[in-house]
Structure 1
């Protein structure tokens, strides 16, 4: 895991040193997990969490840029079940945290001569590594209230192999990957963007066949604000 962290950090540092624009990003994630083989989600299961980190853009050839960075990104979902006219219930929240490395191609559409304002679209892959998170459950059954909170556990996967080392039913895969699609606005130096993260890896460590279907994969809509640093 230490080698993986160093590789991610080195990749970002190289990007930072050559970037035309560095910015701090923060925003809201509306996270969910696909519930069936077709990748559909249940709207009521959407969990509000966050994304925060540092991003960098550098020019390739106008109007194309490359965007990358490091983000701490919340994933997960929630569920609520009621019965007995709402007197009995169980509520649960599942909120793992990942360090995410996106690599997006950005196409800009300027709306003024100096190109300070305009809109853009972006798309590209991401990889992510689980670093923490919590799962919470609370409820009331037959008049008795209960609650519990647990740290989310990840397996000890080595990304250089085809195996899931340390797989267990109570552990998530350490590494996730997928595709980002989105659009946004360049307003002088500020960036406002919407992004949809389409996870391609099943999240449970015991599920090794990611291409079998699209069940149990992350689906995350993000709304974020970017503020420049220095440049």
Structure 2
């Protein structure tokens, strides 16, 4: 009886050690990153590299975390024209044409904390679903803005050229650190991360999605052109959002 109890104890201990075997992985990916609540900025391709750690709870469930270095990027390049009536002796109407070219690049260090569920197909492959929060902190990046404002007393857009006697041009260019204290984005970002991976032996490939809960800026024009032309002064608080594809390789700690 004592021998049977000892054997059962050793089997249970070995199973526990097997389940608690820590898995480490390296991964890289790319995808589209953008922001919500804004009508001008479009999603751009970003990239990420990371080191992951997985703590198995049993054959199905595990806890995932790690450290990722990622880039989020969004930009816009467009213009808008507005005709405004200017009371004067001549009763002329002025035409305003405004164009912008802007790109925001943000670099983050990110720590995910997710619960994962593994659905095996056979002994070598299966699907793993994961979900949980993440916390990210902005560490760098540069943003640029180029703008041009053309004012004309003619409603003919052909007059909006340099050298036209009825047209005045103002233009500017600026570049600054994305997370600068003067007008930069907020560094801290907390959100939700979802993913599904196909695993084959020690290799995996998958897709993930993220949505930020904290605003990157609390005073961001919803529509920049309507804001400039004073048609809509509404300010919004956009959040980070993104979808990414990744591949990686997993190995066991101590092996």
Assess same fold via TM > 0.5.
yes
In structure 2, the partner of 1:52 is 49
> Counterparts of 2:210 and 2:51 in 1: how far apart (Å)?
18
Deviation at 1:137, TM superposition (A): 3.0
Number of aligned residue pairs:
186
- Trace 1:191-210 onto structure 2 (pairs within 5 A): 191-204=204-217
In structure 2, the partner of 1:33 is 35
Q: Which structure has the greater CA radius of gyration?
A: 2
2:218–2:238 contact (8 Å) kept in structure 1:
no
Deviation at 1:183, TM superposition (A): 1.1
Tell me which of 67, 72, 91 is aligned to 2:64.
67
Deviation at 1:20, TM superposition (A): 2.2
1:29–1:49 contact (8 Å) kept in structure 2:
yes
1:125–1:178 contact (8 Å) kept in structure 2:
yes
In the superposition, the TM-score normalised over structure 1's length comes to: 0.70
CA 1:76–1:223: 2 relative to 1, 3 Å: same
In structure 2, the partner of 1:177 is 190
> Counterparts of 1:25 and 1:147 in 2: how far apart (Å)?
37
In structure 2, the partner of 1:20 is 22
In the superposition, the TM-score normalised over structure 2's length comes to: 0.64
In structure 2, the partner of 1:152 is 178
Tell me which of 123, 128, 131 is aligned to 2:136.
128
Superimposed CA distance per residue, residues 29-79 of structure 1 (whole angstroms, 9 cap, x where no aligned partner):
31100016xxxx77x701111111111112012201111100011124211
Deviation at 1:82, TM superposition (A): 3.5
State the Cα RMSD in Å.
Answer: 2.9
Deviation at 1:90, TM superposition (A): 2.8
> Counterparts of 1:48 and 1:137 in 2: how far apart (Å)?
19
> Counterparts of 2:67 and 2:206 in 1: how far apart (Å)?
16
Between 71-80 and 94-103, report the one with greater CA deviation: 71-80
Deviation at 1:195, TM superposition (A): 0.9
Superimposed CA distance per residue, residues 131-158 of structure 1 (whole angstroms, 9 cap, x where no aligned partner):
0011123467746987543221255xxx
> Counterparts of 1:186 and 1:135 in 2: how far apart (Å)?
38
